[in-house]
């Protein structure tokens, strides 16, 4: 589903009428604004890490003698520390893996190929030597990305079940219209049911990930 289809679906659900609004229409822009308000709400659903936002090999730079590397918080919501996820440095077919540990325990893991997440930075605990054979290798981290907001008529809805977003937008649209306000409660109830089903489906997908035993993430924003 794209933005244009979303807007049409919201109008139908909220008003019962089929409307194909142009992008310049105030109602189109209102629904677009509501959708972009609720996409981060979906992304940040408590105690849920959406598998559709998981990227196991997010590139953040090349290894140098610097110990810390910026993580782009405009794209990354969380760094995963699920058991089995590691920081990887790749060079010429060789891979070195680093385990992430809490910042307050960093001193306990010197000499053990470990790193930590400090704010929006990846920090290697041990000094990177200037003769390290992995210098120049690509640093990859496992992350959960931020869901993309809608910018144009062809933007793809990032929510696992777009009908949840349609229903939430319709509820908000109805809430602000005196003639439609009586639909708000039913629409919210429907949206909550769709959210619960999404959570269940997401959990089923997560169960197929290797070593998915101890869920956890490090917030970086």
Structural domain boundaries in the chain: 3-48+152-206, 51-146
Contacts 24+ apart (CB under 8 A), 99-102: 100/218, 101/125
Tracing tokens 């109830």 back to the chain, one arrives at 189
Kind of pairing between the strands at 121-124 and 76-80: unpaired
How large a percentage of the chain has pLDDT more than 70? 93
Kind of pairing between the strands at 114-118 and 94-100: parallel
What are the tens digits of pLDDT across the range 14-70? Answer: 999 988 999 999 999 999 999 999 999 999 999 999 999 999 999 999 999 999 999
Contact 178, 172 (CB under 8 A): no
Tracing tokens 């000499």 back to the chain, one arrives at 111
What are the tens digits of pLDDT across the range 152-171? Answer: 999 999 999 999 999 999 99
Query: Distance between CA 107 and CA 64 in Å, rounded?
Result: 21
């Amino acid at each position: 589903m794209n933005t244009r289809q979303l807007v049409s679906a919201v109008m139908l659900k909220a008003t019962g009428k089929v409307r194909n609004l142009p992008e310049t229409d105030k109602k189109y822009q209102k629904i677009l604004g509501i959708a972009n308000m609720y996409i981060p709400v979906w992304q940040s659903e408590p105690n849920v890490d959406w598998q559709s936002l998981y990227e196991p090999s997010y590139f953040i730079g090349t290894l140098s003698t610097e110990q810390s590397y910026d993580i782009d918080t405009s794209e990354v919501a969380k760094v995963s520390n699920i058991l089995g996820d590691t920081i990887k440095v790749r060079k010429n077919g060789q891979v070195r893996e680093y385990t992430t540990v809490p910042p307050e325990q960093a001193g306990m893991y010197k000499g053990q190929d470990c790193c930590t997440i400090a704010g929006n930075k990846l920090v290697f605990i041990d000094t990177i030597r200037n003769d390290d054979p992995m210098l120049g290798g690509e640093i990859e981290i496992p992350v959960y990305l931020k869901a993309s907001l809608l910018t144009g008529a062809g933007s793809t809805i990032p929510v696992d079940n777009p009908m949840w977003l349609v229903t939430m937008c319709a509820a908000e649209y109805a809430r602000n219209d005196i003639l439609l306000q009586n639909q708000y409660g039913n629409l919210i109830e429907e949206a909550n049911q769709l959210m619960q089903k999404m959570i269940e489906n997401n959990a089923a997908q997560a169960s197929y990930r290797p070593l998915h035993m101890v869920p956890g993430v490090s917030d970086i924003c």
